[in-house]
Amino acid sequence: MVRVEGRTILVRVSYRLFGGVVPRLPFLKAHRRIYRQSGISLFHDAYISLALLASTLVFVISCALSALLHRILLSLPLTRYILAVLSSSWTLGCATLTILLVYPMYRGGQRGKEVDANLVYTIGYMGVLAAGGIPVERIFERVAEVEHRRPIRELATRFIANIRLLGLDVLSSLRDLSLRSPSATLSKILLEAVNTVETSGDLRDLFLFEVGRLLEVKRDQLKRTLGTLNYLGEIYITAIVVSPILFILMLTMLSILGGSALGLPPVVQMNLLVFVVIPVMAAAFLIILDVILPEEG
């Protein structure tokens, strides 16, 4: 409760200070479109005001700390002293503002990946409900109840709130969801649902067609992933299994002969290989696998 109240106070203070400046920023329109897909609960202008306040506070605090450190550690002339303090503080402030402006794009990208990885199951469930003659509003209500993936559940909840709280009709709510969806595929399906509701009103054929198409896309994606994993498996065996054994044999023979390479004894090189090089390479492969393999909840 204290944390929520503290955040609310910061939002109010930032909006009072920078609320009048935010609408005049040149990048606002493009950033608002990205921000809409990030799922952040704050209003866009309030978030931008909070980002400006945070960067200003970082600039002021870093000015004080930088001035203190330069005064204690370095003895610079006054002009260079002021330039050093201002340049370092300005860099930190701009870096803070950049991170906060880019964060919605990163968050939207992560949400989009999660939606795309599991979209076939959600659309399949919606197709089953539509085949049973359940209306659109009830379909999204059921999705909001049973969906455990947060981005999809939030979109379904948004659809229901648009109708029951804001008084929008089904078509307007679907268009709003297409704009807020972090997934281009889901946005396309929602726009197709708008056209279907306007014409026939039967979403069953649309959802079943999209399920078949998404299954085909997922099948092709799995084939490409398996091919990539085969190549990575060969590289893994060569780089982490076979090569260390060969290097260990070479270093053992070198230690027996009494030689050295790179100015280090063979025993030290062998320890570096076993305790540093091999774990680092294994960690790199884990990161590569985490990037390549699709995430499914």
Of 84-88, 181-185, 202-206, least confident by mean pLDDT is 84-88
In this prediction, residues 33-43 reach a mean pLDDT of: 85
The reported pLDDT for the residue numbered 2 is 44
How far apart CA 96 and CA 80 sit, in angstroms, is 24
Q: Find where tokens 């399906």 sit.
A: 189
The reported pLDDT for the residue numbered 1 is 46
pLDDT in tens, 47-99: 888 888 889 999 989 888 887 876 776 666 777 777 877 888 888 889 999 99
Total-model pTM: 0.71
pLDDT in tens, 153-172: 999 999 999 998 888 888 99
In this prediction, residues 240-256 reach a mean pLDDT of: 82
